[in-house]
A = this chain, B = another copy of it.
Amino acid sequence: MRDFSASKAYFERAAKVIPGGIYGSKSPGFLVPGRYPYYLSRGKGSRIFDVDGNEFIDYLCGYGSQIVGYGNPAVDGPAFEQARKGDLLNQPHPAMVELAERLVALVEGMNWAVFVKNGTDATTLATSIARADTGKQIIIAADGAYHGAANWCSTNVFPVFTQAEQRDLRFFPYNDIAALEACFREERGKIACLILTPYHHPTYKPQQLPTPEFLQAAERLCRAEGAWFIVDDIRANFRLDVRGSHVYFGAHPDLVAMGKALANGYPISVLMGSEKLRKTASSFFITGTYWMSAVPMIAALATLDEMERMGGTARLARLGGMLREGLEKLGREAGFGARVSGPPAIPYLTFDEDPDLYLNQRFCAAMADRGVFMHPHHNWFMSLAHTEDDIAQTLEAARGAFQELRPLPHAY
């Protein structure tokens, strides 16, 4: 096990002035307490460094936000140049126009863009536009889908603290066409929208890709009801297809929300929509003090350029495929039902024999001991800063980790 004494000292101080010390997805309990660093000091390329000087090959990538690597000069160069001139001004910077033009040209089926800050701002705005446009209130979403941390989206994943919003949410099991049909039947005439991630990436569970029949049914039901189809692409955007993950899966949404990788970690998200919803979107008072800051917009433009230069989604898929194949093979050789789910660029390892994820926690902790930052409860992310060498080192570490956890042969 690594030395995390500086991390622990900071955490003790934090516990006095911050509820839980560290909250939300970054809290120690969401990883494996004591086996991961609690505080990081820097990142470079595919590597992160903690306050004790430990170095890790990182497969969480700032929860997906790093797609061309930490501290990439092709992004930070133009971003810092604008930061020196001014980031948050009274009015937008021309980069806002340039980024909107670029995304509208790029993302399939989308005719306009609105920039916000949190991913949640984009998904919330999407559902609000759908409600305003239809005059209806019901939102249908998949069981266990994460659409953000606002009150309306926390009703299924986390405990409900606002009763008002939960009245208007309906849930169904992902990929279950009959259950989705039942939702639409029961709420007929009251449904504003269906919101789906482009594929299902629930926390604590293997990832699920959509069946083509499911997506077709979703679109057919929305059209018949007059409800809008929202794709929440915040976690996956730019990793599967830069035109939007809906293109990768052959879906045709009316609204698409993107964030995270959009500007390689600079804080910005975007809601995009089809022509049919432009008028309703224009009628909204959409505002936030930080939403038109220039630097993240310039970073987003640079991220798109740099992604292409570094090999784009094809390279992400190839690297992710190498990792998947290697992990599954090494796992099987050590006697485990190791399975990597999801698209190659956004992999997640689980063990068939481990429904409670205890084995997964032990595996990831053993990987952290070996200098690899993987997450036992949340999907991982490939970045273009990962190299074949990183994958080789990771698989070498995995060989050791699997051996360490190897099931004992039955006594004879």
Q: A234's closest neighbor in chain B, by CB?
A: B289
Contacts A18-B112, A118-B118, A290-B118 given; does A39 touch B92 at CB 8 Å = yes
From B13, B24, B40, B284, A23 is in contact (CB under 8 Å) with: B284
Q: A84's closest neighbor in chain B, by CB?
A: B71
By a CB distance below 8 angstroms, the chain B residues around A92 are 22, 26, 38-40
Contacts A17-B97, A282-B19 given; does A87 touch B265 at CB 8 Å = yes
Interface residues of A in 278-299 (CB under 8 A from B): 278, 281-282, 284-293
Q: A119's closest neighbor in chain B, by CB?
A: B289
By a CB distance below 8 angstroms, the chain B residues around A10 are 94, 97
**Is A137 located at the chain interface by the 8 A CB criterion?**
yes
Stoichiometry (number of copies):
2
How far in angstroms is the closest Cβ of chain B from A25? 5
B118 touching A289, Cβ below 8 Å? yes
B18 touching A114, Cβ below 8 Å? yes
How far in angstroms is the closest Cβ of chain B from A112? 5
How far in angstroms is the closest Cβ of chain B from A19? 4
A17 touching B149, Cβ below 8 Å? no
By a CB distance below 8 angstroms, the chain B residues around A66 are 88
B86 touching A17, Cβ below 8 Å? no
**Is A80 located at the chain interface by the 8 A CB criterion?**
yes
25 pairs, A vs B, C-beta closer than 8 Å: A10-B94, A18-B97, A18-B112, A19-B112, A23-B284, A24-B285, A24-B287, A25-B287, A26-B91, A39-B92, A40-B86, A40-B89, A42-B85, A62-B88, A70-B89, A80-B83, A88-B267, A117-B118, A118-B118, A128-B161, A149-B288, A152-B162, A158-B285, A164-B165, A260-B289
